[in-house]
Structure 1
C-alpha cells in the first residue's frame, strides 16, 4: 500500500528567473524536512538538485529535477527548473505535471523578463501560484518595490501573507498576517520563535489581515456572507477559500524568504500542505476525445510521460505523472500513440540523481521507470481496454539554427544516433537533415542551449563535431517574361535521343489572366514544397509534341526549379507555357523531353530578369525601457528594419524585420548587449529581393562551384 494517498500528495514546481534561488530553496526544504542532514549550496556544488557536472561547471541549473520531501503527513514532490529562457522546455514540461507553482522573485532585482515569460506558461496551464520573495537578507534587497512590480505585472491578485520587519543583512523577522504572528529567526535560520506582533506593527498587520480575508471571501458567496456576519473567517474557511481562489487563478499569496540562511521555508511548506490543492482537487484532465479523466487511485491506470533522461549503462529513465489509478511494477500498459504494450518493470521516487524503489504510485503522484523501449515524451500509457490520450506538451519554437558535422570521417551514423538521443531527451532541440541545404541542422533555443548540446555530444557520445553557419535557403524567381527553345539530340548507335521544346516563362501572381497570344489547351497548378507556386500550361497546337511527353517536360522543369539556375536555390512563383516543339517517331522518349524541358527552362530563366529572394524574419524583442536603444541598434546593425515599439507585460517590445542571414549569432549578441535582461522570439515573415551586390556575389560563387564540378 502506498505511504501517501492521493489527497496527501502535492506536486510543486519552483519557477523564476536565473539567480532567484530556486535550487537553494529546494535544498532548504529538503533540509527542513530532515530528508538531508546537511544543507548543500550551489557555490560548493553539493546540492541535491544541481548534480550534473555541467551544472557544476556553469554554476546554474540546466535541467529540471524531481525531488520529494515529507512534511507533516504530506508528501511534496519538488520540481526544480532552470531560469534561463534557453531551457524553457524543461520549465514547460515540469509545469504540465505540477499542481502548484512557486514563483521565486529575487528581492534585489524584482520582476525580471524571465519571470514574465514563465508567467505566460502558468497562465496557459492555469497553475495555482504562490510568490516567494527571496534574498531579503541581501543589502540591495527591496521588498516593497518587488511587491509593487509583482502587482503591476500580475495584478492585485497578488496578496501579502507575510512581510519582513527588516531587509538586508539584519533580516531575521517576518510578520505573518494570515496567522497574525511574528516569526523570529536565529542567525543560523531553521525553526523560528513565534512571538506576538510588536505594537508598532499591529495596525499595519491588522490592515493587511483584513485585506487578505476580504480577498479570500470575495471568491465564494457563502464565505462573503460569513465575513459580513462575523467580521472574520474561521481557519478552515480561510483554508478552503484560499484553495478555491488559487485553483481559479483568483489569488496569488506572497511569502518572504531567505533560502540561503534557511529562513521562511518551513512556513511556505506548511502552506503548501495545508492550503495548496492536490491533483484530485483540480479540474480533471480532459483527453483528446473530450473525456474527463478523474484523478482517483481506484480509477483505470493512466500515466503521462513528461520527460526522459538517458543514463549511461542503464538506459532511458522515463519520468511520468499518474493521472488515474494505482501503478505497480509488473503492470502492462498500452502506449496510445503507437499501440505498443509496455511493461512497467520498476518504479522509483527520485531524489535528484538517486533512484528510490517503491512498490506503487497512486493517482496524483510523480515517479520514474526504466526501459520503456517504445515510449517517449508526450506519450500516454493506460490500461488495456481504454483509449485515453492526454493533451501533449506544446513546446516553443526554436530561435537559433546551426549546421553540425562530424570532424572524423565514418562517424556520421554515430553522430545521427547521438542527435536522436538528444532529441529524445529534449524535445525543444530539433534535428533536421536538409536536402535543400545539404546540411544537418540543429534548431535550438539559444547559444547556451547549443553549448549544452555540444557538451553532451562531445562528452557522452565521445564525438568531435563542428558547428557552422547554416546555408541560407534563398529562393529564386523572375521579374519579366522570356522565351527559349532547346533541342536535345544524341546519337550513340542504335536508337538515339531527340526532343525539342519551346516554352515561355513569366512571373506568376495570384489571379493573373491566361497567357496572351497562346492557344491554351490545359492548365495545372502546383503548390511547391518549398513555398510559392508553379503554373504549367499546355499550349501545343497541331500535335507538335505528343501529349504523353508533356509530363516529362514538366518533370524537367520541376527538377531545375528545385535547384535553380542562378544560385542553386529553389525557384518559386513562375508560370511556364509550353507552346511548340518537335519530336521524332523513333528517337523521342521521356528522358529526351525531360532534358529538353530542363535546358529550355534554364535558358529562359537567365533571360527573364532573375531575382534572388532572401528569407525575412519577424523578430520581437522584450526588454526593459532602458535597453530599447541598445536593442534597436543591434537590430539595425543586422540590416533590420525596426517597425515599432509596444508595451507588453510592462516591458518594451521592439519589433523588426530582419534577414535570416543576419540572425545567426543574434541570441548571444542580444544577451551580451542587455546583460541577459532581454528575450526574443522570431518567425518567418516572407521573402524580400536581395540587393544587386549580394546577388552578384552569390551568383558568382555558384558559377565557380558549377565549373569546379564539371571540371
Structure 2
C-alpha cells in the first residue's frame, strides 16, 4: 500500500445525532473513491463500518470504527462514531485524535440533542469543524431551518458554502466557494457542472461575498488583499477558510444526500484541499512539558485511543502516530509501564478488514495486534526522553448497578470479562466494594447497560444480574455516654477476665482534649472509610496494665467496622478509657478486646446514635423551558438547591442530593426532558439521615 506523508493524510471524524446518516455517508465516500464496488446499507447489515453483531441487531452504530479512503492523492482516514450519548466514550476518543470533525445534521430535524452534547466536546478540544446537512433530497428536508439551528449552536462564525435547489425536477447544489451549480441525476454520482441559474445568482453572490469576508478575517495578509482588491480568489479563500478552521473560528457548512450519492465527491475534494492535516495542527505539550512536533523526522510517539477485543483475534490496539514514523518490528516504550512493546504487526483497519502495511507516518491512524501491556490512553515512544501524551478524560458513570453472575461458578469469569469491557470502553467503570461486598458496574445509561449485557451473553457466554447497589451509610453519635463491661469466663484452667470503663463523645475537627481526665496517651486514627477515632488512655493507678490498652482499642475498632444500627462503618467518635480491673492470671489481650468492644457498643447505643448518608454535588444542564419539571423532580428526591447559572438557552442547576435518591435519575431525567438535559455528580459529604428514614433503615436490618 502507498505510504502517505503527513501533509497528505486527513483524519476526519464523523459525529452527529442518531440517524443523521454518518454511516451511510462514510459508505458513499468509500464507493465514490472506488474502494468498494457496491454500497452497503444499514438495513442489509453490510456496511463497512457497522460490522459488529450488536450493531446488526440494533441497526445502529455502537462502536467508533476507523476506515479509510483515497481521493486525488490524499488519504482520508474516517472514524464513524455512534450517535447516542450512551456511547460517548467512543465519540470522545475519536474526537481526541481527529484533525477535522465532520458534524452530520439530519436535514429533516436540524441540530438535535445528541449534536449539542457532542458539540460540547468538540468545543472543549478546540477542533476544526465542518457541518454537513444530509438528506437534502428528502421531501421533509428544511435546509434553511437546519442551517439556522447550526448558527444557533455555534454562532455567527458559521460559513455557508453550499445550499440545495431543484432545477427542472433535478436535485442541484449551489456551491458559493466555486460559484458553480452541481446537477445530479436520479441515482446521484458524478454531477453535471453548470453555471448558476440567473434566478439564483443574486443569492449566490451575496453568500459568496459573505464567505470572502469570513475567509479574509482569519489572516492579516488576506485582509490586506481583500481591502486592496475588494475580493479574494478561490485559492485565497481556501487559505482563509483553513486558517479559520484551525483557529476554531470558522465552521463551513455543506449539503449532501448520502443515500443518493449527491455531493460526497465535492465534500471529499474540500477535505483534501482545505481541511487541516496533522502537519497543520499546533504541537501538543507532553505531560513532561516537552513539545510533541508532528513531523516524520521527530522521535516516534503513538497515542492509543481505542482498544477492541475480538474472539478470533484477541486485543486490537488502535493508535494515532503523533510524531515520527512507525515500522514493523520497531521497539517502543510504554510511558505508563516502562515496558518495551515490539510492533510485530501493523495494519490499516477498514471495519473488520485488516490491510497489512510496513510503515506509517506522522498523522496516520493504524492498529496492531496482541500488544502485551498497552491500553487505551497509553503512549508508546522511541528515544531516550519519556513522552506521555495527555490522556482522554472520560465522563463519570451516570448509572451504577450491582452485578453478579446468575451462575455463581461464573463469578471469576464475569470479573475477567468486565475488565476487558472496561479496557475496550473506559466509560464502563468496575469497582469492588469491600464494604458492601458487591461488584458495582458504572456506565452511561440504560442502553449502554443493555449493550454490556448483550456483550456478556454473546461474547463471553455469561448471564448477569443487575440490582440497585447498597448505599454506603455511616453511623455516628450525637451526645456523650458512658458504659462499663466486665468480661469473665471460667472453664477450667486459665480463665478470661477484663473490665473496662469508658466514655464516648462526638468528635469534630479542632475540638480540645477532654477535661476531667488524666490523659496518659492519645492516638488519632484516620479511618479508611472516612472520619476519625480519637482514643485516649486515661487510666491511673495501674488498674489496667498499659499493655492491654491497645487491645481495648482493637475491640472498639472492631465494632466500628460493623455499627450496631445497620452494620455500617462508624466514624467521628472519641473514646476515653478511664477505669477498669484486671486479674493477675486470667487477664489477657483477648479479654480486654472483648470487654472494650462490648463497652463501646453499649455506650454507642446510649449516645443518641445517628445514621449518616452520602450526598452528592449534582449539576444539571437543562433547557430553560424545562426547569420547572426538573426542579419538581429534584425536590421529591430530597435535594437542596444551591443556585443557578445561565448558559445561552440553558439553565445550569446546582444542588446537593442524597446518593440514595440518584438511583434511576439518568433514566428519569431523560424521560422528563426528552433527552435534552444532561447531568454530572460527584461525592460531597456525609449528612444526617431524616429520622423517619433512619427508623425504616434500622427496621430493615433487624
Q: Distance in 2 between matches of 1:659 and 1:687?
A: 9
Seen in structure 2, the aligned counterparts of structure 1 residues 582 and 648 have a Cα distance that, compared at 3 Å, is farther
Is the contact between residue 295 and residue 323 of structure 1 (CA under 8 Å) also seen in structure 2? yes
- Is the contact made by 2:476 and 2:610 (CA closer than 8 Å) also made in structure 1? yes
Q: State the Cα distance separating 1:225 from its structure 2 match.
A: 0.8
The structural deviation recorded for 1:494 is 4.0
Query: Kindly tell me: are residues 27 and 146 of structure 1, through their superposed partners in 2, closer, same or farther at Cα, counting changes over 3 Å?
Result: same
Provide the C-alpha distance between the structure 2 equivalents of 1:166 and 1:310, rounded to a whole number of angstroms. 47
Q: Which residue matches 2:350? A: 351
Write out aligned runs for 1:137-148 (5 A): 137-148=137-148
Mind listing any 5+ residue stretches in structure 1 that lack a counterpart?
A: 704-711
CA distance in 1, matches of 2:430, 2:520: 45
Structure 1 stretch displaced more, 383-392 or 494-503 = 494-503
For residue 42 of structure 1, what is the aligned residue in structure 2?
Answer: 42
Q: How does 1:284-683 map to 2 (within 5 A)?
A: 284-383=283-382, 385-641=384-640, 646-683=645-682
Maintained 8 Å contact 1:137/1:171: no
Contact 1:113 1:623 in 2 (8 A): no
Is it true that 1:22 corresponds to 2:22 in the alignment? Answer: yes
My pick for the range that moved more, 265-274 or 61-70, is 265-274
1:188-215 deviations in Å (ceiling 9; x for gaps): 2222222222223222222222222212
Q: Matched residues in 2 for 1:663 and 1:171: separation?
A: 54
**1:255-280: per-residue Cα shift (whole Å, max 9, x none)?**
11222222222222111111111112
- Residues 351-360 or 197-206, more deviating: 197-206
CA, structure 1 residues 532+287, in 2 after alignment: closer, same or farther (shift >3 Å)?
same
The alpha carbon displacement at 1:649 in A equals 4.8
Corresponding residue for residue 706 of structure 1: none
2:546, 2:266 → 1: CA distance?
83
The 1:522–1:648 alpha-carbon spacing in structure 2 relative to 1, beyond 3 Å, is: farther
> Deviation at 1:177?
1.5
Is the 1:497–1:587 Cα contact (8 Å) retained in structure 2?
yes
Which residue of the partner structure matches residue 121 of structure 2? 121
Task: Say whether 1:32 aligns with 2:32.
Answer: yes
TM-score, reference length from structure 2: 0.95
SS in structure 2 opposite 1:213? helix
- Listed as ranges, the matches of 1:188-337 within 5 Å are 188-337=187-336
Say whether 1:694 aligns with 2:693: yes
Q: Partner of 2:89: helix, strand, or coil?
A: helix
Distance between the aligned counterparts of 1:228 and 1:526, measured in 2?
A: 74
CA-to-aligned-CA distance 1:627-651 (integer Å, 9 cap, x gap): 4444344444444455565443533
Change (3 A) 1:260 1:657: farther
- 1:608: Cα distance to partner? 1.1
- Please say if residues 68 and 77 of structure 1, whose CA atoms lie closer than 8 Å, have aligned partners that are also in contact: yes
Q: 1:311 Cα deviation (Å)?
A: 1.0
Q: Is the 8 A contact 2:104 2:132 kept in 1?
A: yes
- Taking structure 1 as the reference length, the TM-score comes to 0.94
**1:524-568: per-residue Cα shift (whole Å, max 9, x none)?**
434333223333333333333333333333332223222211101
Contact kept? 2:624, 2:649, Cα under 8 Å: no
Instruction: From the superposition, tell whether residues 268 and 26 of structure 1 become closer, same or farther in structure 2 (CA, over 3 Å).
Output: same
SS in 1 for 2:512: coil
Q: Distance in 1 between matches of 2:166 and 2:534?
A: 74
The verdict on how the C-alpha distance between 1:319 and 1:513 changes in structure 2, with shifts beyond 3 A counting, is same
User: Does the C-alpha gap of structure 1 residues 108 and 686 become closer, same or farther in structure 2, counting only changes over 3 Å?
Assistant: farther
Q: Give the drift of 1:514.
A: 2.7
How far did residue 615 of structure 1 move?
2.2
Classify 1:46/1:313 alpha carbon distance in 2 versus 1 (closer, same or farther; 3 Å).
closer
Q: Tell me how far apart the structure 1 counterparts of residues 647 and 172 of structure 2 sit (CA, whole Å).
A: 36
- Asked whether 1:55 is paired with 2:55, we answer yes
Aligned residue in 1 for 2:109 = 109
Report the Cα distance in structure 2 between the residues aligned to 1:217 and 1:537, rounded to whole angstroms.
76
Q: 1:166 Cα shift?
A: 5.8
Stretch of structure 1 that moved more, 450-459 or 175-184: 175-184
Alignment partners' CA distance in 2, 1:294 and 1:691: 58
CA RMSD of aligned residues (A): 2.3
Q: Cα distance, 1:89 vs. partner?
A: 0.7
Provide the rounded CA distance (Å) in 1 between the counterparts of 2:388 and 2:501: 56
Paired with 1:14 and 1:170, the residues of 2 have a C-alpha distance of 30
Q: Secondary structure at the match of 1:57?
A: helix
Q: Tell me the distance in 2 between the aligned counterparts of 1:522 and 1:215.
A: 75
Instruction: Give the Cα separation in 2 of the matches to 1:545 and 1:566.
Output: 30
Cα distance per residue 1:584-606 (max 9 Å; x no partner): 34433333333222222211111
Deviates more, 1:418-427 or 1:677-686: 677-686
Superposition pairs of residues 33-182 of structure 1, within 5 angstroms: 33-165=33-165, 172-182=171-181
